[in-house]
A = this chain, B = another copy of it.
Amino acid sequence: MLFDATLRWLDLAGIAVFAASGALVASRKQMDVVGFVVIACITGIGGGTLRDLLLGRTPVFWLRAPELLGVAAAVAVLVFVAAHRVENRFRALLWADAVGLSLYAVLGAEIALMAGADPWAAVLLGVMTASFGGILRDVICNEVPLLLRREIYLTAAALGAATFVALRLEGVWREPAFVAGALACFLLRAASLLRGWSLPGYKPRPGRDHTS
């Protein structure tokens, strides 16, 4: 359980935006309202659940926190009722996912550090926590995972988590480190979405890799 207010609010905000992204995918699949609620809940709690499982913090956080599921369900119903007003639902989904990615990258890294994880492992746990809800959402709904689009996605999560971990190791307080890490992740992801930034991908030499 999280008794710490900052972590609790971050978790809640991450759940809300990931729930919105899950509900938007449900709208793309034309599910019914129960489908919206279940996919929103799974997307919202997916990252935090993986984090708790890997760290051995069971029962996982949402089993005793009805308000978290209530928030995800409320977001899902809101999207079910109002999504047709959104001009471009896929775009809205990308931005909701970007905010959730930023919040969970730092949150996952912090909780890993608190559990005594090594800094490298904290960065990887941050990346996994941040991306797992979206992976679950896309795999369950049979969508191409966002992380496979030729964009900066995992890199942004890794930058956010690494910024946070580096600042913490330097002795920076937690809240400013949170803000810096989440901002670093969000700005890089936003640049990728708005300007089409990307890192050079692997390019096979032409005429060599015909079989692979």
Contact = CB atoms under 8 A, between A and B. Distances in A.
Contacts of A155: 32, 34-35
Interface stretch (A2-10, A14-22, A83-91, A165-173): A83-91
Interface of A is mostly: helix
Interface string A39-53: 001100000010001
Interface string A71-92: 0000000001001101111110
Interface in A16-72: 26-36, 38, 41-42, 49, 53-56, 58-60, 62-66, 69-70
A154 interface: yes
Interface stretch (A98-106, A115-123, A177-185): A115-123
Nearest to A127: B38
| Copies of chain A in the complex | 3
Which residue of A28, A93, A115, A147 has the most chain B CB atoms within 10 A of its CB atom? A147
A41 B28 CA distance: 31
Nearest to A125: B63
A194 interface: no
A198 to B, nearest CB: 7
The 3 closest A-B pairs by CB, nearest first: A56-B58, A32-B199, A89-B212
